[in-house]
Amino acid sequence: MTDLPSKTARKLGLVIDLDTCVGCHACVISCKGWNTENYGAPLSDQRPYGDEPMGTFLNRVHSYEVQPEHGPAQTVHFPKSCLHCENAPCVTVCPTGASYKRAEDGIVLVNEDHCIGCGLCAWACPYGAREMDQAEGVMKKCTLCVDRIYNENLPEEDREPACVRTCPAGARHFGDFADPTSMVSQLVENRGGMDLMPELGTAPVNKYLPPRPKDDWDDTAPLAAFLQPVAQEPSGFLNWLDKALDKLPGGAS
């Protein structure tokens, strides 16, 4: 079995803002593109245009309908990838040492030359962040784009994970959690960043910022008068559309 480092010099990871993520999947596509073109082995697809398509992705986005205790229902988009846990169970169960956690920056990686595809790491990961590449027969996972963040041939602004670089909503942030003054540490402190399933004791490095509570409409608010509709009756295209809908069976309702 593989041992974990007793301490890492840095704790590189992601902060994901669930209040800002719009579920566009740009991070998924950029991750797939970058790793397929530049990773040690391509992220393969099987039957991409046929029946029961499947493929290997290091980052996925799930969407959920949630009902808060107060206020209307919300759609929450939940990106998920490897959390680079401090107590990574996927590392300690690996029989060949293929899965390991780096002491210099805390990134969890897979040495594909040593991976035998036994799947133990996938069983041990409580977050479902490991994926078996059916074509290569080895486990793949998020690397935090280790080939980007240390690449001195890239401009400084590009030395961050592809998913962070491409997010149009600014929902993903990358940095060192071992530095209390870093942007990611400050975001977690100011917004109440949370661990995913902390009761498991894996101590994930990646954090999530919870959705902010939605404001209820208040007629007495200072800006309320400016937010009221200007026209009480529809005009122009909306007037035509309203009349057209009224002519349908059952009316516009």
Residues 174-193 pLDDT 10s: 999 999 999 999 999 999 99
Q: How far is CA 159 from CA 153, 165, 237, 241, in A?
A: 9, 9, 48, 50
Give residue for tokens 């030359």. Answer: 113
pTM, to two decimals: 0.81
Q: Which residue has the tokens 């039957």?
A: 47
Cα gap 167→165, rounded to integer Å: 6
Separation CA 122–CA 27 (nearest Å): 22
Q: Which two tokens stand for residue 64?
A: 């959920």
Specify whether the CB–CB gap between 170 and 25 falls below 8 A: no
The domains of the chain are located at 12-209
Of 171, 147, 169, 170, the residue nearest 158 (C-alpha):
147
* Low-confidence residues of the chain: pLDDT under 50: none
Res 232: pLDDT: 64
Predicted pLDDT of residue 16: 97
pLDDT of residue 236: 75
- pLDDT tens, 210-220? 987 766 555 55
Please report the sign of the dihedral spanned by the C-alpha atoms of residue 56, residue 197, residue 101, residue 95. Answer: negative
CATH match of 12-209 with 3.20.20.140: no
